[in-house]
């Protein structure tokens, strides 16, 4: 989790493809148990009920599963809504055999993505009362194949998506600087003609932060720092007259439980 705005989301066509692939992975059309237990069409109604309080996400892929299973939607809630134990999230009608075929995949989407939205909402709430509350942004540490859905879940929880992928902005990290020194690296990413891309550089200590700021970089990512060390880095920038106008991010090891301790560092996000 990171303490920036590109809209996060997944196109309906890509969501449908992902849902179909997930259903095929579960071989939803070849449910051996259901085919033996249920003979012929069996009309039924299914209800998805929240088992705990939280924030809803995952309705788009869940509904894609419903459509693929040729079921009818009777009632549904919208992503981003608050949930309480016992809340009816979704009501379906149709053939029980088809319901059982898509059930597990549909629930997996709702549970996994609502979990992300709920965790994000908890972090957002923890920093809301800070004098200068930071924003909560997601990272690229996503489940392969689920990035757009997981990024959207962060938004449903009140957060922001950050970079979608490697082509989205320039983020010079420690691995880059282990191969190429800072100034040559910056010279290479700064366009000699035309528009220079947005540049952000990862720093781990005061020395790196001062060097990056003096090189004219306006966006710094402080990585894997304790609250005390993050405050020391920001304080050093302030004393050197390098803090004003700089966008500061904190990343690495942040959780809803400890994020409040970082809020006092006063990052811009």
Q: Report pLDDT for 266.
A: 62
Which member of 141, 190, 198, 214 is catalytic?
A: 141
Catalytic residue selected from 103, 200, 202, 208: 202
Q: Is 11 a catalytic residue?
A: no
**In whole angstroms, what is the distance from residue 7 CA to residue 20 CA?**
25
What residue ranges define each of the domains in the chain, with the CATH number in brackets? 12-126 (3.90.1170.20), 129-263 (3.20.20.70)
- Residue 5: band (very low, low, confident or very high) from pLDDT cuts 50, 70, 90: very low
Q: Kindly list the distances between the CA atom of residue 245 and the CA atoms of 98, 173, 213, 222, in Å, as whole numbers in the listed order.
A: 57, 21, 11, 16
When mean pLDDT is compared across 2-6, 98-102, 121-125, 131-135, the lowest value belongs to 2-6
- Given 104, 243, 246, 260, the catalytic residue: 104
151 catalytic, yes or no?
no
What pLDDT does residue 119 have?
97
DSSP letters for the chain: -B---------HHHHHHHHHHHHHHTTGGG-HHHHHH--S--EEEEEEE-SS-EE---HHHHHHHHHHTT-EEEEEPPTT-EE-TT-EEEEEEEEHHHHHHHHHHHHHHHHHHHHHHHHHHHHHHHHTTSSSPPP-B--S---TT-HHHHHHHHHHTT-B----STTSSEEE-HHHHTTS-HHHHHHHHS-SSSPPPPEEEEE-SHHHHHHHHHTT--EEEEES--HHHHHHHHHHHHHTT--TT-EEEEESS--TTTHHHHHTT----
Q: What pTM does this model have?
A: 0.89
Q: What is the pLDDT of residue 132?
A: 82
pLDDT in tens, 186-209: 999 887 666 777 899 999 999 999
Cβ contacts of 9-12, under 8 Å, gap ≥ 24? 9/148, 9/151, 9/152, 9/155, 10/60, 10/148, 10/149, 10/152, 12/60, 12/64
| Residue (of 12, 117, 2) closest to 67 by Cα position | 12
pLDDT digit string, tens, across residues 68-89: 999 999 999 999 999 999 999 9
Q: pLDDT tens-digit profile of 240-263?
A: 999 998 999 999 889 999 999 998
Q: Which of 7, 29, 70, 173 is catalytic?
A: 173
Q: Is 141 a catalytic residue?
A: yes
- Annotated catalytic residue within 31, 148, 208, 223: 223
173 counts as catalytic = yes
As a whole-number percent, the residues of the chain with pLDDT over 70 amount to 93
Residue whose C-alpha is closest to residue 108's, from 78, 84, 143, 132: 143
């Amino acid at each position: 989790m990171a303490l920036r705005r590109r809209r996060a989301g997944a196109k309906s066509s890509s969501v449908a493809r992902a849902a179909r692939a997930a259903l095929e992975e579960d071989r939803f059309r070849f449910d051996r148990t259901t085919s033996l237990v249920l003979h012929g069409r069996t009309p039924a109604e299914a209800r998805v009920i929240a088992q705990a309080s939280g924030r809803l996400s995952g309705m788009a892929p869940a509904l894609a599963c419903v459509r693929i299973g040729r079921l009818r939607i009777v009632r549904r809630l919208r992503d981003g809504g608050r949930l309480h134990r016992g809340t009816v999230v979704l009501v379906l009608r149709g053939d029980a055999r088809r319901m059982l075929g898509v059930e597990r995949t549909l629930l997996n989407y709702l549970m996994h993505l609502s979990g992300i939205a709920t965790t994000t909402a908890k972090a957002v709430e923890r920093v809301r009362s800070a004098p200068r509350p930071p924003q909560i942004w997601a990272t690229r540490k996503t489940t392969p194949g689920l990035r757009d859905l997981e990024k959207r879940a962060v938004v449903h929880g009140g957060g922001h998506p950050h970079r979608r992928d490697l082509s989205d902005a320039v983020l010079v990290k420690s691995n880059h600087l282990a191969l190429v020194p800072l100034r040559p690296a910056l010279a290479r990413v700064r366009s000699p003609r035309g528009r220079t891309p947005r540049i952000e550089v990862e720093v781990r200590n005061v020395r790196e932060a001062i060097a990056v700021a003096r090189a004219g970089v306006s966006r710094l990512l402080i990585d894997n720092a304790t609250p005390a060390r993050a405050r020391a880095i920001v304080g050093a920038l302030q004393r050197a007259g390098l803090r004003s106008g700089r966008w500061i991010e904190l990343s690495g090891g942040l959780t809803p439980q400890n994020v409040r301790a970082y809020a006092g560092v006063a990052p811009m996000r």
